[in-house]
Amino acid sequence: MIEPELASRFVGIALANIAQEFPNKLDHVLNSAIDVRGPHDLHPIFFGSYDWHSSVHMHWLLVRSLRLAPYSEQAQHIAARFDHSLAPAHVAVEIAYLHQPSRATFERTYGWAWLLKLQTELILLARTMPHAVRWRDAMQPLADVIVDRYLQFLPLAGYPIRAGTHANSAFGLLFALEYAHVHQHPALRKLITERAHLWFGNDPRYPAHYEPGGDDFLSGGLVEAALMLQLLDGCDFADWWEVFCPPEQELHHWLTPVVVTDRADAKLSHLDGLNLSRAWCWKMLLRELPASLHGPVTTSIDAHLVASLPHASGGDYVGTHWLATFAMLVLTEEDRALNETAG
């Protein structure tokens, strides 16, 4: 459970970030001189927070905060912002951008996954907040485009990407699987299940000593385990984990927080995200792990949060434009599971 004061701080950061156009790192193919335009013109919804996917991150954080604290002092500010930005006309521009030539790979699959994560949260919010129905319905056509891209791309993807950065395949499937469950999309779920089993179903003795990479913000191994946890029941996951789990002498690579040497460096600051995403993955996995790991993993979650949680809400913009979302993931994991089960 996230403390109200910290949640409020994260909401303040998110509201400021999604309205901040510059600095901005565009992922933008120029098809002609007409495409030389600023972020707000190109992306009337997701122009802030340094880049497109981080803006989607921060919108998700705001929606989750509304689900967890719908009557907070900031809820009205979030609603006003969404009433303006999550409008059908703005969604149409975002969709038109995706349909331009040379943009089939735009944000594949990290930004795709976060967009579906955002829509999942809007669907869940609309179940308890009637005002959110308009946001959910406005965003659904964009989510539909992203689903179509998954359905077209995954059959062609013969090999997974295991890097601990944006293109990680397991992460790209994890949020899409959640969407397929909440939105009740059996075709998407079936395809994700097939790819996950093909890519990860028989992985033996994951080489944890290869992690982390120098600018990782995901643990390729732990995200893979989190994905398989969603696809396998308790006994099957236990069998899978027994084969997959790194040798005992290598587990410390996942249990020990990484050191961040320069938080003003846009790449090195990724390592704070790695600490937070590891804690999130461990928290998801904890109850299904062998009893012998419960103590070390619980200690590890706390240590990773101590190492990087303070930097999610303070410091250089290269970190604060996105880290709060990973902090929100780990700090509200129990709330997510409870609410989705209830829904």
Contact predicate 221/206, CB 8 Å: yes
Q: Which residues contact 210 (CB under 8 A, 6 or more apart)?
A: none
In 3D, which of 46, 125, 43, 45 has the Cα closest to residue 83?
A: 45
Rounded to the nearest integer, the mean pLDDT of the chain is 96
Q: What is the pLDDT at residue 322?
A: 98
What's the rounded Cα separation, in Å, for the pair 297 and 55?
A: 31
pLDDT at 340 over 70: no
pLDDT at 14 over 60: yes
In 3D, which of 111, 52, 61, 96 has the Cα closest to residue 81?
A: 61
Using pLDDT thresholds of 50, 70 and 90, give the confidence band for residue 334: confident
Contact predicate 65/7, CB 8 Å: yes
Q: What is the pLDDT at residue 75?
A: 98
Unique residue bearing structure tokens 């790194």:
246
pLDDT at 337 over 90: no
Unique residue bearing structure tokens 């009337």:
44
Using pLDDT thresholds of 50, 70 and 90, give the confidence band for residue 158: very high
Q: What is the pLDDT at residue 234?
A: 86
Q: What are the tens digits of pLDDT across the range 241-276? A: 999 999 999 999 999 999 999 999 999 999 999 999
Q: What are the tens digits of pLDDT across the range 207-238? A: 999 999 999 999 999 999 999 999 999 899 99
pLDDT at 339 over 80: no
What does pTM read for this prediction? 0.97
Give the CA radius of gyration of the chain.
19
Contact predicate 119/136, CB 8 Å: yes
Q: What is the pLDDT at residue 335?
A: 63
Q: Which residues contact 338 (CB under 8 A, 6 or more apart)?
A: none
What's the rounded Cα separation, in Å, for the pair 180 and 10?
A: 28
Tokens of 120: 């999942």
For 95, 290, 306, the CA distances from 294, given in Å and listed in that order, are 45, 7, 19
Kindly list the domain boundaries of the chain, sorted by start residue: 1-156, 162-334
